[in-house]
Amino acid sequence: MSLWVDRFRPKTLDDLHYHQGLSSRLKSLAASGDFPHMLFYGPSGAGKKTRISCTLRQLFGSGVEKLKIDQRVFVSPSRRKIEINLVQSNFHIEITPSEAGNYDRVIIQELLKEIAQTQQVDLNAKQRFKVVIINEADSLSRDAQAALRRTMEKYMSNLRIILCANSTSRLIAPIKSRCLLMRVAAPTSTEMQTVLEHVAKKLKFDLPPEASLRIVEDAAGNMRKALLIFEALKMQSPDLTGPLTIAKPDWETYCHKVADLIVQEQSPARVMEVRAKFYELLSHCIPPTIILKTVAERVVERVDEALKADVMHWAAFYELRMRMGNKKIFHLEAWVVKVMCLYKHFTYNFDMSDFE
């Protein structure tokens, strides 16, 4: 049995509950004869992929829902084999090239060239081009982005590219200039409550307003997270009354413990202890940027008002360094040392003021 987040996912643009102006715009673009390359961007859980799938249905009809998962093997110039999973229908292919790391350029070049050189095989299709959806586009290497830009120029007649990203800051300007940018903002609290009430109505039970508000507050604009929490709470307490306990993910609790360690003691031994915990998080595939963000937010809650701005400033600084570099642990550890120095210096000056 599928999760509610998949079971009640809207299938058409008319079924979407928020950003109606964006849905109308997508509908008119799909109906026009000149569909452009597109870039959907916005925070996680805002509904980017749902809108992309609804747009594909508007373009090609219900045939896009007949999906199959395939595994392709690509060979790099150094003869290394790279395996990538593809989700495809007769009308589109969905890929995540960033899974291949530094070899994403090979996948972009070979796969897009192969797709672009074949004509649309379905004679009943409304459009004569195929669509390639590239997930996590902001994680592509510079070489892969350069290869993508050349492909977008060369094969426009047979191919349309839809990029999905959390932010546009890491995409090169030539790619952004060749796409129609679609910002999918996080839903408001009222919009999220509307979706939760719609799901409850579909399941034929009443959602108490207090429970709805509690779920929305914890989800913080992430519609996917809100639906997952909703389902979990319903399994725990069928009537959704009384005090509701929303369990935090294990990795988030672990990050909070790391932040507490940083604030409790500032010493070389404590840096080594924090480093071991960072390795533990990274080995469980928690993205380093998420680790840094979660730990920094927790540290900000625990420190004095005068230090909060500096903690977040250095978090942003080392996040940028992390994105540009290769060894993520170095930048995480550098941020920890910097925060410890700031905290130690602040508390020392604060203690000395007692003797003045």
- The verdict on residue 171 lying in a domain is yes
Cβ-in-10-Å burial (0-12, 13-18, 19+) of 48 comes to buried
Q: Is the pLDDT of residue 42 over 70?
A: yes
User: pLDDT above 90 covers what percent of the chain?
Assistant: 22
* Cα separation, 121 vs 246, whole angstroms: 49
CB 38 within 8 A of CB 159: no
Residues 40 and 177 in one domain: yes
- The verdict on residue 242 lying in a domain is no
Closest CA to 164 of 64, 55, 85, 23: 55
Residues 29 and 74 in one domain: yes
Task: For residue 241, give the DSSP letter.
Answer: -
Residues 84 and 138 in one domain: yes
Residues 174 and 201 in one domain: no
Domain count, the chain: 3
* Cα separation, 281 vs 102, whole angstroms: 22
- The verdict on residue 22 lying in a domain is yes
For residue 153, give every residue at least 6 positions away whose Cβ sits within 8 Å of its Cβ, in sequence order, or none: 178
User: Where would I find the H helices in the chain?
Assistant: 4-7, 20-31, 48-60, 104-116, 142-154, 173-177, 189-202, 209-219, 223-236, 250-264, 268-283, 288-302, 305-324, 328-352
For residue 350, give every residue at least 6 positions away whose Cβ sits within 8 Å of its Cβ, in sequence order, or none: 304
Residues 65 and 159 in one domain: yes
**Which residue range(s) make up the domain with 99?**
4-183
Residues 281 and 193 in one domain: no
Phi, psi angle pair for 44, to nearest 5°: -65, 135
Phi, psi angle pair for 182, to nearest 5°: -120, 105
Residues 58 and 147 in one domain: yes
What pLDDT does 164 receive? 93
- The verdict on residue 243 lying in a domain is no
Q: Is the dihedral of CA 319, 321, 323, 328 positive or negative?
A: negative
Domain end among 164, 183, 202: 183
Cβ-in-10-Å burial (0-12, 13-18, 19+) of 118 comes to exposed
- The verdict on residue 355 lying in a domain is no
Residues 338 and 204 in one domain: no
pLDDT digits (tens, 9 = 90+) for 190-222: 999 999 889 888 888 888 888 888 888 888 888
Provide the token pair at 211.
């429970």
- The verdict on residue 73 lying in a domain is yes
The domain that contains 171 carries what CATH number?
3.40.50.300
- The verdict on residue 241 lying in a domain is no
What pLDDT does 159 receive? 84
- The verdict on residue 353 lying in a domain is no
* Cα separation, 93 vs 133, whole angstroms: 6
Residues 122 and 196 in one domain: no
Residues 203 and 173 in one domain: no
* Cα separation, 80 vs 103, whole angstroms: 9
353: enclosing H helix or E strand: none
Q: Is the pLDDT of residue 112 over 90?
A: no
- pLDDT bin (cut points 50, 70, 90) of residue 233 is confident
- Select the highest-mean-pLDDT range: 145-149, 150-154, 271-275: 271-275
Q: Is the pLDDT of residue 122 over 70?
A: no
Q: How many residues can be counted in the chain?
A: 356
Residues 67 and 168 in one domain: yes
The domain that contains 294 carries what CATH number?
1.20.272.10
Residues 170 and 317 in one domain: no
pLDDT digits (tens, 9 = 90+) for 257-278: 999 999 998 899 999 999 999 9
